[in-house]
Amino acid sequence: MKYKRTDPYNPYSLKGKSILITGASSGIGRAIAIECSKMGAVVNIVGRDRKRLADTYNNLQGKKHKIFLADLASEKDTSDLVSGLNPLDGIVHSAGIIKRIPLKLITEGMYHDLLRINLIAPALLTKSLYKGNLIKQEASIVMISSIGSDIASLGNIMYMSSKGGINSLMKGLALELAAKGIRVNSIEPGMIKTNLTNLIPDADLVRDINYYPL
């Protein structure tokens, strides 16, 4: 008996998939969460701002989505998050912060705070999910990096190095998790208009826009 497809073929469908998205309260993370829901996924959105996270939730399509209010710099919040999840088909590490500080004004505390969110949190969250058997075989992990990992800009040393670390973390995880068929990749966006770009001087934004032909 020949199988007859009832739904239009869509190789990008996420129907029936469960995906965790950090940094979903704004920017790239919010856009990814909304698009994944449109493609049929059940999304678990994570953020620190209750109101903005609720705004994201209200823009999701479909049902069974979950909100997790969590500061990923907090060990307790991360533990509570992991305990509330079901096995995942996909993970998007999008949470991140930026601090544009010239070298002579950088302090150890500033550096630690930024690395804790941008690099250490996704590493430890992935570890906890993996140890808890919450990452399915053949799942996909995506880390939002930046072209800043390769292209220097003034006052951006801390952010640049954190994203360089993300790319190295991605490669190490890809090697270790390959035996389970789990794929790990990073994406390096250019300048995207989000809440983070509000911290960049207007003159710098205009100069950057001129680099893009479209």
Q: What is the pLDDT of residue 7?
A: 67
Q: What is the pLDDT of residue 197?
A: 66
Confidence of residue 153 (pLDDT cuts 50, 70, 90): confident
Using the predicted structure, report yes or no on whether residue 156 has a pLDDT greater than 60: yes
What are the pLDDT digits (tens) for 196-212?
Answer: 666 667 777 777 777 77
Higher-scoring residue by pLDDT: 126, 189: 126
Helix 157-177 crosses helix 108-115 at what angle (to 10 degrees)?
40
What mean pLDDT do residues 127-136 have?
98
Domains of the chain with CATH codes: 18-209 (3.40.50.720)
Using the predicted structure, report yes or no on whether residue 183 has a pLDDT greater than 70: yes
- DSSP string over 148-201: GGTS--TT-HHHHHHHHHHHHHHHHHHHHHGGGT-EEEEE------SSGGGGS-
What mean pLDDT do residues 79-103 have?
96
Confidence of residue 76 (pLDDT cuts 50, 70, 90): very high
Q: What's 12's DSSP letter?
A: T
Using the predicted structure, report yes or no on whether residue 136 has a pLDDT greater than 90: yes
Q: What is the pLDDT of residue 73?
A: 94
Q: What is the pLDDT of residue 52?
A: 96
Confidence of residue 6 (pLDDT cuts 50, 70, 90): low
Listed residue (177, 143, 183) closest to 21, CA to CA: 143
Listed residue (173, 180, 96, 105) closest to 141, CA to CA: 173
pTM of the model: 0.88
Q: What is the pLDDT of residue 2?
A: 57
